[in-house]
Amino acid sequence: MNIQCISKKTLKQLSVVPILALAICACAPSVVNKGESTSCPDAWSKQLAQDRFVLVLPTEGNPDGEAVLDRETCLVWELAPGDTKLDWDSAVEQCISKTVGSRMGWHLPTIEQLLSLIDRNATSGGPLLPAGHPFKNVVSGFYWVADNLPSDKSRAKTVEFNTGEVGDSNKTDKHHIWCVRGGIPRMDT
């Protein structure tokens, strides 16, 4: 069963060029969890956290799944991003070479992709993630994204998960990384 995030009817209603719509919300041909296909709703619909996130990519060591499908954005995130801090170039390479749940194809998220996880209504005092999220080991602090600072290629953008603020940092600084799979990676160099 194929996963569709946006219907042809919706495309016509939005008057969006089909290729652009695919860039906005494209799912892998299939995301399977325990032998069942998982479908993505329209990206514009509001989801409760328990309905929004689904554990996927089960392994022998973790039968529930090593990654999380965000059914609102159709992106697959690492379940536990880790607490290692890396410079930007190492962060890019770490994501590219990563294997999670026997799957490759990971990349550093774009600013829009990482911000899609921020919930400004979160009041837990920790990372601003939606209530009921399944993620583990997400720490407050700065996370790298794939976007360079347009005016200075020696700097890249960051997202601070305790406040949700977007900033920038010298690429030699060390920050957290959270790799993602799917969507359209943008690697500014």
Residue segments in the chain with a per-residue pLDDT below the cut of 50: 1-34, 42-47
Q: What is the pLDDT of residue 83?
A: 85
In-domain check, residue 77: yes
* Four-CA torsion 184, 84, 175, 95, nearest 10 degrees: -20
The amino acid at residue 8 is K
In-domain check, residue 151: yes
How many domains does one find in the chain?
A: 1
Determine the Cα–Cα distance for residues 131 and 49; give it in Å rounded to an integer: 6
Q: What is the pLDDT of residue 28?
A: 41
Residue range(s) defining the domain that contains residue 45? 8-181
In-domain check, residue 114: yes
In-domain check, residue 1: no
In-domain check, residue 187: no
Q: What is the pLDDT of residue 25?
A: 41
Q: What is the pLDDT of residue 188?
A: 58
pTM: 0.74
Determine the Cα–Cα distance for residues 86 and 102; give it in Å rounded to an integer: 23
Q: What is the pLDDT of residue 126?
A: 76
Q: What is the pLDDT of residue 121?
A: 83
In-domain check, residue 3: no
In-domain check, residue 144: yes
For residue 167, give every residue at least 6 positions away whose Cβ sits within 8 Å of its Cβ, in sequence order, or none: 142, 157, 158, 159, 160
- Residue whose pair of structure tokens reads 């069963």 in the numeric block: 1
